[in-house]
Amino acid sequence: MLSGFLKKAIFSRMFTAEKGQIKLLKSRYMLVHVPAMAKIIYDFSKIKGGRKKLYETGFESGKAVISDFRKVLPPAKFLVNSMMNTMMGVQEMLGWGKFELKKLKKKKHYMIVHWDSAIAIEMVKKFGRQKEAMCSWPCGVLAGAIGILLDDELRTRETKCIAKGDEYCELIIERKTAKKSRKKG
């Protein structure tokens, strides 16, 4: 089912799919085979510094996509929960897996999200259980995107990951300056 957001995007021509190009505002998109994506992330994670690079690439991508939106949307004070629900709805529709906002401290820009990561599920199938959390790239995307929406410097720590055998991936999205009071990510 299309999210309300995408319906609006199609209606206002923010979203177009023609002449072999899928565009949401200025950025181009393509459907990606999840097993291929899982393999790319898996291989890259095994290289020294690879995880960090994946996170940074995701971070820049999340920032760029949402910056596009900020240019066309009227400057408004976003309600953090409705913003998060819209964003998670769009990601779900794009095949990332189901998200659930478990905790939100609005003023601190602190949130805990549980996620059935399509990438992590695929990774376990293909490569077996992993020793570390593997969703560095999407973690970067979320920190970059939500940071732009909230006008703040955020980071994501993945404290549980399906790839490690956890029931879900647990993402802690918080200020970069926040003390890591919970489990190490």
Please report, for residues 44, 135, 147, 159, 162, the alpha-carbon distance to residue 130 in angstroms, rounded to integers and kept in the order given.
14, 11, 29, 14, 9
Q: Which stretch binds Zn ion (CB under 5 A): 45-53, 72-80, 90-98, 113-121?
A: 113-121
Considering the complex, state which of residue 10 and residue 112 has its C-beta at the smaller distance from Zn ion: 112
Considering the complex, state which of residue 4 and residue 95 has its C-beta at the smaller distance from Zn ion: 95
Cβ neighbours around 25 below 10 Å, total: 15
Question: According to the binding rule CB under 5 A, does residue 136 interact with Zn ion?
Answer: no
Question: According to the binding rule CB under 5 A, does residue 156 interact with Zn ion?
Answer: no
The size of the chain, in residues, is 185
Question: According to the binding rule CB under 5 A, does residue 169 interact with Zn ion?
Answer: yes
Residue 21, class by beta-carbon neighbours within 10 Å (0-12 exposed, 13-18 middle, 19+ buried)? exposed
**Residue recorded with tokens 């400057």:** 75
Question: According to the binding rule CB under 5 A, does residue 161 interact with Zn ion?
Answer: yes
* Residue among 135, 143, 146, 172 that touches Zn ion (CB under 5 A): 135
The footprint of Zn ion (CB under 5 A) covers: 117, 120, 135, 161, 169
